[in-house]
Structure 1
Amino acid sequence: MTGIDSVQLNQVIVHKVGNPSRAEELKLSLNPLSLNDEMVRKLLTKYFLGSFNENETYRFTHISDVNLNEVFNYVTQLFEKPNEFVETSAILAQFLYSKSTHVKVKEGELYVALFDDVPYDGDFVQAVGLFKSESKETFLKVFPHGKSWEVIQEEGVNINKLDKGCLVFRKHQADGYVVCIVDATNKQNDAQYWVDDFLQVTPYTDSYHNTDKYLGLCKQFITNEYAEKFEVSKSEQIDLLNRSMDYFKSKEEFNLQEFAEEVIHHQEVVDTFMDYKKNYEAAKNFTMEDEFSIHVAAVKKQQKSFKTVLKLDKNFHVYIHGRRDLMERGYDELTNKQYYKLYFDEES
């Protein structure tokens, strides 16, 4: 998240939340942190907010009424009754404890925080933060001992790696607020208790969401389904990945029919892609629009994960950026090996 220098960290409290299925305890704090040290305040603010992508937004939801979402209600209490901060934070910790029963859920510290002057959509707003640290790292501490130095081992939290986070902007309350999330641990479907069980959030269906999800869909389809259902080479997979990314980089608007005709081409592959899209939406529990404005930030994010490297044994890595027609694949009977021919104008 950018522009956090102006953020004011007003209150923060820490509770220890274990896993009840392993008989680990819930230990509640009676008082917020003192925050007398300005450097500690700044480090905490960086730790809490530095990992969020403010373009990727969610909202609290519920199967019948958002007002029945527990965390939505507790966050509203924190906004409206800051004098009851300690009591409300304890209820949040108890609720998280009740949702931490999966075998893969780790014990950790839950931080509940109140912020002012958080940048959002050209404005500065109040925000509530919920953060959980689960991973501990080993640090070496060097300290003076007489006329020498000694080293001891200590365990602590890496302030550059937020495990789990939820930042709730005080905007659009009737729609479930505007929420950003981080979930860097326990990413398996059976252990996503933070997003699904505790927070119960769903993405806002906006241009960023649609762009991000369509590119994710394309990558999964080409990497898995396309290679499985059709007899294609790795270079052909990479070519389709490149054409998909080029479409999103060169267009301002997405149109599903146009994408199918310009990028996928073959009707049999198009039909398979459409079926895969339906199953993808059902599995992810959201719907993607057939037409929307393409979001540049989402394209840049996804571009990092589009691997366009052709690995040939352990000897060669070929980076393919386009022009599949300038590659020729064959088999040499004399050496009993496959080969690629690459056609080019000049080398550099």
Structure 2
Amino acid sequence: MSSNFETNIAQLSIHKVGNQALDEALILSQNPTPIIDDTLATLLRQYFLGPFEKSNEVYRLSHTTGNLQLNEVYHFAEQIFADATQFHTHSMQLAKLLYKVGSHPKIKSGEMYCCYFDALPIEGEMVAAIGIFKSESKEPYLTIHHNDTAYQMAYEEQAINIKKLDKGCIIFNTEAEEGYKVTVIDQTNQTEASYWIDAFLQLRIRNDAYNQTNTVLSIYKDFVKNEMDQLFDMSKTDKIDLLNRSIKYFKENDDFNIDTFSHEVINNEAGIASFKNYKSNYEQTMESPIPDSFAIHIAAVKKQARVYKSVLKLDKNFHIYIHGNNDLIEKGYDEALQMNYYKVYFREEV
């Protein structure tokens, strides 16, 4: 969404944020970091913006009280957008905030990069943006140089892989009154590292068509996997068929309607009632209502289609991919071999 390798990094400030629980220091740069040449600028754009290229979710900065001014990241972003000449000063305050909230002992120290972009694209408009990024993972790398007679090798033990951004967010200068448009990356996949999204940024997902489509498909997938067994004696092929039919519905329709979807896909009154109750419980738990009708976002459908399982895994010998009519596959049991089997019907090999 926001990857644009031609944009200008107008300002860059780098600070070292340690873990205060481990008595690691916060080291603040007193001056911005110059970008010395075009090659470095290109590499930095790739490092900072590349991971956001396929990011479709848009978030908002928020606060539990509803008062955005109590969200410190929002406060400093507002100050920067109002007067970019004070960018470095506010970047220091953002580093202090990250240091304060990152107190879990498993959180890694790392460099925090604050960037000011003159213009980045977001949903069809070009706006100024603030990027906040953190590198925690370091890797060794080798360099090779040739002199007059031979190649010489050197190494750097604590180098940064520009294809592996650990954490990042981009705050776009649009819709400020609603908490700005924000995209986010967190590659750590650790429960304790939720401090980036929850404690530092205090983000909430924007309840738009993309999020609604993505959420309903996620809820339905979990419902089929976790709830249907309690209601019906279902085979794995039946479950795969239900998942395939749901993706088919979302691909073939412009709008979602829960009643139409339920009758076309589930087509069972007890199952329909259970699914609606499952969705309602999710909304109450997450405190995020999902409308019963909304426009379908095709990018969210494509994302979910990649994780919907349509594969039967049989021991370690066979995988059967089921893309359509599950009436053409039968399950049985061979008494002589004392093994299960599947019988598959088809017209021709492709």
TM-score by length of 1: 0.94
Contact 1:6 1:117 in 2 (8 A): no
Verify: 1:175 aligned to 2:178, yes or no: yes
Answer yes or no: is 1:87 the counterpart of 2:95.
Answer: no
How large is the Cα RMSD of the aligned pairs? 1.8
Residue 25 of structure 2 is aligned to residue 25 of structure 1: yes
Question: How many residues are aligned here?
Answer: 347
Deviations 1:116-138, CA, capped at 9 Å, x for gaps: 12112332210011111111222
How far does the alpha carbon of each residue in 1:226-258 deviate from its partner, in whole angstroms, 9 at most, with x for none? 346543222222111111111111111001111
Whole-angstrom CA distance in 2 between matches of 1:320 and 1:247:
16
Aligned to 1:243: 245
Judged with a 3 Å threshold, the aligned counterparts in structure 2 of structure 1 residues 58 and 232 are, in CA distance, closer, same or farther, namely same
Superposition pairs of residues 152-163 of structure 1, within 5 angstroms: 152-154=154-156, 155-163=158-166
**SS of match in other structure, 1:277:** helix
In structure 2, the residue matched to 1:198 is 200
Correspondence 1:223-262 to 2 at 5 A: 223-227=225-229, 230-262=232-264
CA drift of 1:219 comes to 2.1
Task: Give the match's secondary structure for 1:130.
Answer: strand
Structure-2 residue corresponding to 1:290: 292
The DSSP-based 3-state class of the residue aligned with 1:124 is strand
Shift of 1:54: 5.1
Counterpart-to-counterpart distance in 2, 1:316 and 1:17: 49
Secondary structure of the equivalent of 1:6? coil
Residue in 2 that maps onto 1:63? 64
Q: Which residue matches 2:309?
A: 307
Tell me, in whole angstroms, the C-alpha distance in 2 between the residues paired with 1:150 and 1:285.
60
* 1:70-129 superposed Cα distances (whole Å, 9 cap, x missing partner): 100011111112222221111100101111012331111111110012112332210011
Partner of 1:49: 49
Return the alpha-carbon distance in structure 2 between the equivalents of residues 115 and 289 of structure 1. Answer: 36
Contact in 2 for aligned 1:59/1:175 (Cα 8 Å): yes
Amino acid at match of 2:115: A
Match of 2:318 in 1: 316
Q: Which amino acid aligns with 1:56?
A: E
Matched residue type, 1:60: L
1:34 and 1:117 map into 2 onto residues whose CA distance is: 19
Q: Is the 8 A contact 2:5 2:49 kept in 1?
A: no
Q: CA deviation at 1:2?
A: 5.7
Asked if residue 270 in structure 1 is aligned to residue 279 in structure 2, the reply is no
Q: Is the 8 A contact 1:163 1:184 kept in 2?
A: yes
CA shift in 2, pair 1:183/1:283, >3 Å: farther
Aligned-residue sequence identity (percent) comes to 44
Gaps of 5+ in 2: none
Structure 2: how far apart are the matches of 1:137 and 1:272?
A: 49
2:58 maps to amino acid: T
Which consecutive unaligned segments of at least 5 residues does structure 1 have?
none
TM-score (norm 2): 0.94
CA distance in 2, matches of 1:214, 1:327: 28
Contact kept, 8 Å, 1:35 with 1:41, in 2: the verdict is yes
CA distance in 2, matches of 1:103, 1:219: 35
Give the SS at the match of 1:196: helix
**Counterpart among 201, 213, 216 of residue 214 in structure 1:** 216
Residue equivalent to 2:187? 184
Residue identity matched to 1:14: I
CA distance, structure 1, for counterparts of residue 119 and residue 270 of structure 2 = 53
1:29 shift after superposition: 0.9
The corresponding residue for 1:341 is: 343
